[in-house]
Structure 1
Amino acid sequence: MKKVNRLFKKIVLIIFCLIAFISAFQIATHKKESLLIGGENIALMDHEKKYQAVNQPLEINKKKQKPMEKKEKIKTKQIIATQNPNVIQSYLDTSWKPIGTKQTEPHIFSFDNNSQDRIEMRKVISNTLHINATNIEEWWLSMYGPNDVEAYVSNRETNQHYRVLISWVVSKGYQAKQVDELHFLPEQWQ
Structure 2
Amino acid sequence: MNKKEVESSDSNVVEAFTADWQPVGTEQTGPHTTNYDDGSQDRKEIKHAAAMATGLDENNMTTYWVGNAGDQKVTTTVFNGNQSEIYRVSLTWHDGQGWQVNKVEKLKEPAH
Correspondence for 1:80: 6
Paired amino acid for 2:8: T
- Does residue 121 of the first structure (1) align with residue 50 of the second (2)? no
Q: Extract unaligned runs of 5+ from structure 1.
A: 1-74
- Does residue 167 of the first structure (1) align with residue 73 of the second (2)? no
Question: What percentage of residue pairs aligned between the two structures are identical?
Answer: 28
CA-atom RMSD in angstroms: 1.6
* Structure 1 CA distance for aligned equivalents of residues 54 and 8 of structure 2: 19
Structure 2 residue matching 1:166: 3-state secondary structure: strand
TM-score by length of 1: 0.56
* Structure 1 CA distance for aligned equivalents of residues 36 and 9 of structure 2: 30
Q: Quick one: which of 146, 150, 164 aligns to 2:75?
A: 150
Paired amino acid for 1:139: Y
CA contact (8 A) 1:136 1:154 kept: yes
- Does residue 108 of the first structure (1) align with residue 10 of the second (2)? no
Paired amino acid for 2:18: L
Where relative contact order (Cα < 8 A, 6+ residues apart) is larger, the structure is 2
Q: String of CA shifts for 1:16-63, please: whole Å, max 9, x gaps.
A: xxxxxxxxxxxxxxxxxxxxxxxxxxxxxxxxxxxxxxxxxxxxxxxx
Q: Structure 1 residues 107 and 91 mapped into 2: Cα distance closer, same or farther (>3 Å)?
A: same
Paired amino acid for 2:6: I
Q: Quick one: which of 7, 19, 22 aligns to 1:93?
A: 19
Q: How many residues align?
A: 112
* Structure 2 CA distance for aligned equivalents of residues 159 and 117 of structure 1: 26
* Structure having the larger proportion of residues in strand: 2
CA contact (8 A) 1:78 1:92 kept: yes
* Structure 2 CA distance for aligned equivalents of residues 130 and 82 of structure 1: 21
* Structure having the larger proportion of residues in helix: 1
CA contact (8 A) 2:57 2:80 kept: no
Paired amino acid for 1:118: R
Correspondence for 1:42: none
* Structure 2 CA distance for aligned equivalents of residues 85 and 179 of structure 1: 15
- Choose 1 or 2 for highest CA Rg: 1
- C-alpha deviation, 1:159, in angstroms: 2.1
* Structure 2 CA distance for aligned equivalents of residues 97 and 154 of structure 1: 22
Structure 1 residue matching 2:79: 3-state secondary structure: strand
Correspondence for 2:58: 133
The structure 1 segments of at least 4 consecutive aligned residues displaced by more than 4 Å after TM superposition are: none
